[in-house]
Amino acid sequence: MTPLGLFLPGTSPLHRAPAGLKLLGLVAAGVVSVLLDEPWQVLVALGVVTVLYGVAGISLRVAVAQVRPLLWIALGTAVFHVLVNGPARAFVVVGVLAVLVLLAALVTLSTRTTDLVDAIVAVCRPLRRVGVDPDRVGLLLALGIRCVPVVVGLAQEVRDAQRARGLGASPRAFVVPLIVRSLRHADALGEALVARGAEDPVPDEG
């Protein structure tokens, strides 16, 4: 639904699973990954990840794209470990990295941004006691999602103005007006929030 997001729509069991459950699974996978020590265990984990991508109906091409940015650093790390600790260790380290990145990417690909926002707000509820207001957390996330395209739009305007006045690629002539415009926009946004009662006490609904 957000054209900006990485979410891939689908109807698989993974898509329908609650966001909180998937995040818990991800945390569990992170804990288990510390225990993986043998190459065969990593192979099993990679197999499980492949099956999960299959269940979610996500193509191999998309899956590979998730780890492609890590190609060079993974190669460098593998060389380091082959030289220092032997090839088995190299396989375990790079394999675990790939498993975790692929699993985390799978949660992102199969979960709507709005569902993840709700999950964050839910996680913040117990933090009420230490002074975090979960409703304001939700408000801030919603504002942030809205502000990204606004600032990108402002950046386009500033760039056009810069070109029109014949200023080259001076970072100062671009960033200073961009930020000043963003701050002015924030002032208007803050006033709009107050006008809509954002400062009022929120009813405690547990």
Partner 1 sequence: MTRASAPSPSPRFTSRDLALVAMFAGVVAALGLVPAFTPPGFSVPITAQSLGVMLAGAILGARRGGLALVLFLALVAVGLPLLAGGRGGLGVFAGPSVGFLIGYPVAAYVVGWLTERAGPTYKLHWGIVANFVGGVVVLYLLGIAGMAVVLGITPWAATVASWIYLPGDLVKVVVAAVVARGVHAAYPGLLGEGRAARESAEASEQQAV
Contacts of partner 1 in 152-191 (CB under 8 A): 152, 154-155, 171-172, 175-176, 178-180, 182-187, 189-191
Binding mask 126-145 for partner 1 (x = CB under 8 A): --xxxxxxx-x--xxx-xxx
CA-to-CA distance for 76 and 118, rounded, in angstroms? Answer: 38
**Least separation in angstroms between CB 26 and partner 1:** 7
Residue 125: how many CB atoms within 10 A of its CB? 14
Establish if 70 lies at the interface with partner 1 (CB under 8 A): yes
Binding mask 44-63 for partner 1 (x = CB under 8 A): --------------------
Please list the alpha-helical segments (H only) found in the chain: 13-16, 19-35, 39-56, 60-67, 71-85, 87-110, 113-124, 134-164, 171-195
**Least separation in angstroms between CB 141 and partner 1:** 6
Q: Which of 48, 51, 148, 167 binds partner 1 (CB under 8 A)?
A: 148
Longest pairwise C-alpha distance within the chain: 64
Q: Count helices and strands (H / E) in the chain.
A: 9, 0
Contacting partner 1 within 7-36 (CB under 8 A): 7, 26, 30
Based on CB atoms, which residue is closest to partner 1, 17 or 104? 104
CA-to-CA distance for 76 and 97, rounded, in angstroms? Answer: 13
